[in-house]
Amino acid sequence: MPELPEVETVRRGLQPAMEGSRILRAEVRREGLRWPFPPGLGQRLKGARVERLRRRSKYILADLSTNETMLLHLGMSGRITLSGLEAPHVPGQFHHQHPAPEKHDHVIFHMENGARVAFNDARRFGALDLIATDRADAHPLLAALGPEPLGNTFNGAHLVARLKGRKGPVKALLLDQRIVAGLGNIYVCEALFRAGIHPARAGGRISAARLERLAAIIREVLQEAITAGGSSLRDYRQADGELGYFQHSFRVYDRAGLPCPTPGCADHISRIVQGGRSSFFCATCQK
């Protein structure tokens, strides 16, 4: 589900509820998600203050006062919902009115400031782990990740170096988190459309000039999506329950059969399956 813009939107929404506040109690309502939760999870979180909420790729990282970092991944269907947020009289203080837990609320954080944060994930492809903060970068799920697409080290030269000699379709290569971290199916489709690159084109057979443009477009699309609060399809919502609205800006994703949005193009959007994932593109505009 959530790709980089959605995760970043969730992180920003959680900041006022979590950063600087203590976890009075972590209500752990099942044994694990994709993997078992770490041993003693509830006890290790109890009383910990969240010093900082960060994001790396599609992971939310909460640095705790216990010198541990909690790592969250939303998988395909993960959501985080906040309650107790209505019109605080004092900034940072939240009301203590909370709804009953919903189906698939697996972990609920009861914060000292009155906020309640529920990690909900119907399909349970998500993850939650704890690791020593000074070794967080070495966590097995983070260690091999490529550069942040919105960071300083991601550019055309990086794509040139990483795609050189690769025979596989550029679509699959951009989904490979070791090459660039944070893209998913939606934003790869959208970026390839804007860059005029066919998703089936071999990664190693794209000119440096086109990859330079692709890198800039990836940043542009992600930035626009963050500004829009992400894309709300089925179950994604921002932490405060608001819907993102970038889905209204999709040019190709989930638009098979609809007219190509390029002015003057008479073609329609195609759908193919690559590596088991749908790819959407215009066969006229993307070569």
Partner DNA sequence: CGATACACCTGTGTGC
Partner DNA sequence: TGCACACAGGTGTATC
Q: Which of 2, 5, 16, 169 is catalytic?
A: 2
Q: Is 46 a catalytic residue?
A: no
Cα(226)–Cα(218) distance, rounded to whole angstroms?
12
Residue 61: phi and psi, rounded to 5, are -120, 125
Q: Is 2 a catalytic residue?
A: yes
- Residue 177 CB, nearest distance to DNA (Å)? 5
For residue 195, the surrounding DSSP H or E stretch is helix 185-195
- What residues have CB less than 8 Å from 138, skipping those under 6 apart? none
Q: Which of 11, 56, 58, 210 is catalytic?
A: 58
Residue 217 is given by DSSP the state: H
- Residue 88 CB, nearest distance to DNA (Å)? 27
Taking Cα atoms as reference points, which of 23, 28, 7, 128 lies closest to residue 79? 7
The residue among 111 and 175 lying less far from DNA, judged by its C-beta, is 175
Provide the edge-to-edge strand list for the sheet that holds 50-56: 50-56, 59-64, 68-73, 127-132
The residue among 1 and 18 lying less far from DNA, judged by its C-beta, is 1
Residues that bind DNA (CB under 7 A): 1-3, 6, 34, 57-58, 73, 75-77, 103-104, 122-125, 141, 166-169, 172-173, 175, 177, 184-186, 203, 230-236, 244, 254, 275-278
The residue among 104 and 251 lying less far from DNA, judged by its C-beta, is 104
Q: Is 8 a catalytic residue?
A: no
Q: Is 91 a catalytic residue?
A: no
Q: Tell me the catalytic residues.
A: 2-3, 58, 277
